[in-house]
Amino acid sequence: MQRRSLLLAGLAARPALAQGTAQTASPWPQRPVRILVGFPPGGLTDVLARVLVARFGEHFGQPCVVENRTGASGIIAAEAVAKSTDGHTLLLVHPTAVAIAPVFSKRLPFEAETAFAPVSGLALQPHVLLVKADAPWRDVAALVADAKARPEAITFASSGVGSVQHIQAEQFCAATATRMTHVPYRGSAPTMTDLAAGSVDWVIDGTGISAPLVEAGRLRVLATANPRRLARYPDTPTLVEAGIQGVLPGSWFGLAGPAAMPAPVVQALNAAVQAAMATPDMQRALANASAEGMAGTPEAFRAFIQGQLADLRALAARVSITME
């Protein structure tokens, strides 16, 4: 409580972000806070936001709500936050809108590197490379060797053009100097169904969505894109251990506000995020999704996003992906 009082006292000494004209300096927040989520309820993006709003309400003494503003792979929600001027609208960040689309979309309605004030990273959901349980490849090396012997004959699925899964698969192909055929789907659920049925050959996707089929013996994990082996699959090597570098580890999430959000507000939100990450509710949400916490400073999250953009621009120089 004392820390909160000191934070708000510091904020009171600086102007608040206002709509249209500057207002008299006063503590933040002055009104309910919204966290915009670019995806429907139920996914990890939404779950993380709902844990945060509960803790933010207690931390700041103002109502905090989640608003699911879906569409365009999260770009609609990101645009709304980038252009907001009320000082009380935040974005639950997903890589599609702030890292992938800025590189592969020709009509993005905001400049990703300057439109947001990063607050903190939140979580990383590791992805794994999966094949059907009776597929002929027992390891990544066998899959790569077959792909080199039969260019474009082997298929990989994704949750759609420009999705994290698509980008990871293209990075995998680029890193292994192989040519394979992309089969886009509308989400991970149909991808898993068709992979288990043998309609496509492999996919990189989340542990949460794939674990039931792995445990049922219908899918097999060849490797994890995470830089460390996963507790769920301790005997499964990483792609790096298999000699494959440069593949995104999985989907990542964070919190940001519009670029004009004052630094004291960003710091106050960062402190609230750190407190929320330690709660049992957040730890339970991460464990249920096989995700890892990645909270840190605003500067660290900004550097992380810039690193992602650099990696994706390098990929764009090698493959043709267009998000429309």
Domain-wise residue ranges, the chain: 2-124+250-316, 127-224
pLDDT average, residue stretch 22-45 = 81
* Structure confidence at residue 318 as a pLDDT band (50, 70, 90): confident
What's the mean pLDDT when you consider all of the chain?
89
Alpha carbon distance 179, 143 (integer Å) = 12
Alpha carbon distance 119, 296 (integer Å) = 9
Alpha helices (H) along 13-115: 44-60, 75-82, 95, 101-104
Q: What is the reported pLDDT for 324?
A: 66
3-class state of residue 66 by DSSP: strand
Q: Is the pLDDT confidence value at 11 over 50?
A: no
3-class state of residue 26 by DSSP: coil
Cβ(167)–Cβ(247) below 8 Å:
no
Cα–Cα distances in angstroms (integers) from residue 213 to residues 109, 145, 246, 251, in the given order = 39, 26, 27, 20
pLDDT in tens, 228-261: 999 899 999 999 999 999 899 999 999 999 999 9
Alpha carbon distance 139, 242 (integer Å) = 9
Alpha carbon distance 173, 150 (integer Å) = 13
Listed as own residue / partner, the contacts of 95-100 with beta carbons closer than 8 Å and 24 or more positions apart are: 95/164, 95/248, 95/251, 95/252, 95/308, 96/38, 96/162, 96/163, 96/164, 97/38, 97/73, 98/256, 98/305, 99/305, 99/308, 99/309, 99/312, 100/73, 100/162, 100/163, 100/164, 100/167, 100/312, 100/323
Give the CATH H-level superfamily of domain 2-124+250-316.
Bordetella uptake gene, domain 1 (3.40.190.150)
Alpha carbon distance 143, 51 (integer Å) = 40
Place of tokens 């003494």: 61
pLDDT average, residue stretch 32-57 = 94
Burial class of residue 257 (count of CB atoms within 10 Å of its CB; 0-12, 13-18, 19+): buried
pLDDT average, residue stretch 184-203 = 94
Regarding pTM above 0.85, the answer is no
- The answer to whether 2-124+250-316 and 127-224 have equal CATH topology is yes
| DSSP letter (8 states) at residue 72 | G
β-pairing, 250-258 with 89-93?
antiparallel
Give the CATH H-level superfamily of domain 127-224.
Periplasmic binding protein-like II (3.40.190.10)
